[in-house]
Chains A and B, each alone.
Chain A
Amino acid sequence: MNTQRVWFAFFIVLALTLNFGFFIGEIDNPLHHNSYELFLTLVVSLIATVLKVGDRSHMGAVLLATSLVADLQLIMAATIWGYSSEVTGHVSPAVMASIVSLAGGAMLANLTSVVLLLSETIQLKR
């Protein structure tokens, strides 16, 4: 068993599960979506991205790309949230809906990562 592979899979799956936890709930209800969860999702997703860097295979390139997409979507969601709560003063249901839908997009990207990881694992013959 390779420790590096464990951490690699751990962060990729954790990014997906945290992302799912944040995403689930009524789309425009701020009570259903925890800001700490979004923060953790973003941090884990960033770490997963760094771990994927440097793998020169074709699979590595696709994994890195999906991870970058997830980062981008999550950063956009966090920025909108921060802006609306700090600058305009309150988070309206419409803003909440767009934050959650961005996080939903990120979840799709994370899901793709996990699917790729699984398919590669299944192909490995021992």
Chain B
Amino acid sequence: MLEGDQYWAHSKSEPIWLLLVQLRSPLIALIVTYSISILGLVLIPGETDLGSPYYLSFLDAFYAVSYTAMTVGFGEIPYPFNQSQRLWMLLVMYSTVIAWLYAIGSILSVFSDPAFHRIRSQNRSISQVRSHNEPFWILCGFDDTGFQLIRFLDQAKIRCVVVDEDPERIDCARLINLSYEPAVFLSDPSEPQILVDSGVSRPHCCGVLALTGRDQINLMIATNARVLSPRLSVYSRSNTDFSTRNLRSFGTEVVIDPNRSIVHRLVQMIRRPNTYALHNELIDPDFNQLSVHQLSDLGHWIICASGRFSELVVEAFVREGIPLCLVSREPPEDPSVCDWVEGVGTEAITLREAGILNATGVIAGTTDDGDNLSILLTALEEKPALFSVARRNRSSSELVFRHGQFNEILREDRVIAQEMFARIQTPLLNQFLGHLEAMPDSLVFDIIEKMSHRRSVEQSELDHFALVLTAAQAPGVVELLQKEATIKLGDLLIDPLREQPLLPAICLLIARLNADVIPIPGDELDLVLGDQLLLWGEAEALNRIKFFIGRPDLFEANIKESDPLL
């Protein structure tokens, strides 16, 4: 029990105590030199101007010692000192000045002590977390993924607390340009105490994001969070199937395996290009365009990859029946399922051996950015019409990849951040993405066609938002519904400025209070109180909708004007 008490006392120690413990001996040195100096001055007899004996009072002595110690040196007051007093003053000068220098030196060394700084910033972060009165997430592990995710979350006005054990990354988190100042903790995120300090049991805490690169650490973060605060959502990154199963076994809400996600997207891109385009637009807050890749089905794909990624790609491509040729140093587990060429793929001869002239595309998926660039540049030299897919591993290489004119870039950190953000931002989007998986590509094609019919400017930005038909969020709609009027979904999309017949927006999903979920509802559907709508469309159009549903008078007038029968 004693040990526990000490642990708590230690974890909550304030920097002032650390300072005072360090200052113990200089303070005692100061007190002792001062008191001996004062006592000596009081005891040594002096003389007045007229030669009669005189003793300094304690006040005079304290005064004289103080100005001597501070090196101010006002002189010999109230009367000139005699020789014995001067002898004593010599001692006083040297001893007290040295004691002061010692004390000041100790104070400065404490202030410049990294441990002192760490405790101070830790305490500041703890009080920052305590004063949080908005929902926040605890982000454990701040590498490229965390950096991307915290920016996505900031765009959605969701706050984060950052924990990492690397001082450089913590500095990066401190300096990142956000709309708020995140609380940061320099500590091993797998320690339970740091989760408590960063607010795991605060009422405003929404959940914990375990984003470190190591599975064992993520596992510990997830279990700690699960035990310390069972109501929280825990999202984790995982690099192996074993760890994924392990994390899921105790109810981790979301487990993202970046390699599996990337492979899934590759297959989606090749087999269901429309779904891929819509998925990409919805999931990334920074990417606001629809770009559908038209791929020819004739040739095969050359995949340059190694390790687990190559295994997963081969498995998925074989399952989907996409012809491929693997270029890697080691042969695939089952050599009979696909062609295999030994090599890295950075040389033209290897690529020719893999049949580059008949290939549809090439995927450079090694874990080395230099190799990936080299593979693609060589491949495009051989066949310029090739569809090129680059895997970008480190965010520092982003610049070259973006200027490389590749058709598609896969970024591991960004994929994780996107997948997590889509699930944090609105549960409705998550639900819709689930439905999107099961939708035939032709249906998605129809949605995209419908949208492009409604759009006037091809290049305008797309966005989405979730709307709940409650008095707080949509007073306009709710008031009209309470008057027992029927409102159709299409009524929301009537353009108040009459520039176009319908605003360029589509409702992707309606979730009702009675647990009905309707993906891609028609415009004729009657709205009911409490409906949750996921609206997708041009950002400008969505703003108009948001404005009108907030104004009961305008909304009603707008509907009546367009439909005189109502």
**Do the two chains bind?**
yes
Listed in ascending order, the chain A residues whose CB lies under 8 Å from chain B are: 35-36, 39-40, 43, 46-47, 50-51, 53-54, 56-57, 78, 82, 85-86
Assuming the contacts A39-B39, A57-B9, asked whether A50 and B58 have C-beta atoms less than 8 A apart, the reply is no
Chain B 1-18 near chain A by CB (<8 Å), digits 1 or 0: 000011001100100010
- What residues of B have a CB within 8 angstroms of the CB of A43 in the complex? 31-32, 35
Assuming the contacts A51-B24, A54-B21, asked whether A46 and B31 have C-beta atoms less than 8 A apart, the reply is yes
For this complex, 28 residue pairs linking A to B, each with C-beta atoms less than 8 Å apart, are A36-B42, A39-B35, A43-B31, A43-B32, A46-B31, A47-B28, A47-B31, A50-B24, A51-B24, A51-B28, A53-B17, A53-B21, A53-B23, A53-B24, A54-B17, A54-B20, A54-B21, A54-B24, A56-B10, A56-B13, A56-B17, A57-B6, A78-B58, A82-B57, A82-B58, A82-B59, A85-B59, A86-B60
Listed in ascending order, the chain B residues whose CB lies under 8 Å from chain A are: 5-6, 9-10, 13, 17, 20-21, 23-24, 27-28, 31-32, 35, 38-39, 42, 57-60
- What residues of B have a CB within 8 angstroms of the CB of A57 in the complex? 5-6, 9
Decide if the interface of chain B is mainly helix, strand, loop or mixed.
helix
- Could you tell me the distance in whole angstroms from the C-beta of B78 to the nearest C-beta in chain A? 11
Assuming the contacts A47-B28, A86-B57, asked whether A56 and B9 have C-beta atoms less than 8 A apart, the reply is yes
Interface centre among B5, B20, B32, B59 (most CB of A within 10 A): B59
A50 to B26 alpha-carbon distance, docked (Å): 10
With A53-B21, A57-B6 given, can you name 17 additional A-B contacts, CB distance below 8 Å? A35-B58, A39-B35, A39-B38, A39-B39, A39-B58, A43-B32, A43-B35, A46-B31, A47-B32, A50-B24, A50-B28, A50-B31, A53-B24, A56-B9, A56-B17, A82-B57, A86-B59
CB closest residue in chain A, given B57: A86
Count of inter-chain pairs, beta carbons less than 8 A: 48
- What residues of A have a CB within 8 angstroms of the CB of B57 in the complex? 82, 85-86
- What residues of B have a CB within 8 angstroms of the CB of A85 in the complex? 57, 59
A49 to B217 alpha-carbon distance, docked (Å): 45
- Could you tell me the distance in whole angstroms from the C-beta of B12 to the nearest C-beta in chain A? 9
A51 to B24 alpha-carbon distance, docked (Å): 7
- What residues of B have a CB within 8 angstroms of the CB of A53 in the complex? 17, 20-21, 23-24
- What residues of A have a CB within 8 angstroms of the CB of B59 in the complex? 82, 85-86
- Could you tell me the distance in whole angstroms from the C-beta of B428 to the nearest C-beta in chain A? 51
- What residues of A have a CB within 8 angstroms of the CB of B9 in the complex? 56-57
A46 to B33 alpha-carbon distance, docked (Å): 13
User: 10 closest Cβ contacts across the A-B interface?
Assistant: A54-B21, A43-B35, A53-B20, A82-B59, A56-B9, A50-B27, A86-B59, A46-B31, A50-B28, A47-B31
A86 to B6 alpha-carbon distance, docked (Å): 50
- Could you tell me the distance in whole angstroms from the C-beta of A122 to the nearest C-beta in chain B? 18
CB closest residue in chain B, given A43: B35
- What residues of B have a CB within 8 angstroms of the CB of A82 in the complex? 57-59
A108 to B226 alpha-carbon distance, docked (Å): 52
- Could you tell me the distance in whole angstroms from the C-beta of B236 to the nearest C-beta in chain A? 36
A82 to B42 alpha-carbon distance, docked (Å): 13
A51 to B20 alpha-carbon distance, docked (Å): 10
- Could you tell me the distance in whole angstroms from the C-beta of B77 to the nearest C-beta in chain A? 13
- What residues of A have a CB within 8 angstroms of the CB of B32 in the complex? 43, 47
- What residues of B have a CB within 8 angstroms of the CB of A35 in the complex? 58
- Could you tell me the distance in whole angstroms from the C-beta of A24 to the nearest C-beta in chain B? 21
CB closest residue in chain B, given A85: B57
- What residues of A have a CB within 8 angstroms of the CB of B10 in the complex? 56
- Could you tell me the distance in whole angstroms from the C-beta of A44 to the nearest C-beta in chain B? 9
CB closest residue in chain A, given B9: A56
- What residues of B have a CB within 8 angstroms of the CB of A36 in the complex? 39, 42
- Could you tell me the distance in whole angstroms from the C-beta of A6 to the nearest C-beta in chain B? 15
CB closest residue in chain A, given B62: A82
- What residues of A have a CB within 8 angstroms of the CB of B38 in the complex? 39
- What residues of A have a CB within 8 angstroms of the CB of B5 in the complex? 57
A39 to B58 alpha-carbon distance, docked (Å): 9
CB closest residue in chain A, given B10: A56
- What residues of A have a CB within 8 angstroms of the CB of B20 in the complex? 53-54
- Could you tell me the distance in whole angstroms from the C-beta of B97 to the nearest C-beta in chain A? 20
CB closest residue in chain A, given B22: A54
A35 to B13 alpha-carbon distance, docked (Å): 40
Interface centre among B5, B23, B31 (most CB of A within 10 A): B31
A78 to B28 alpha-carbon distance, docked (Å): 20
CB closest residue in chain B, given A86: B59
A40 to B530 alpha-carbon distance, docked (Å): 79
- What residues of A have a CB within 8 angstroms of the CB of B28 in the complex? 47, 50-51
A86 to B27 alpha-carbon distance, docked (Å): 28
CB closest residue in chain B, given A11: B28
A54 to B434 alpha-carbon distance, docked (Å): 58
A58 to B49 alpha-carbon distance, docked (Å): 57
- What residues of B have a CB within 8 angstroms of the CB of A54 in the complex? 17, 20-21, 24
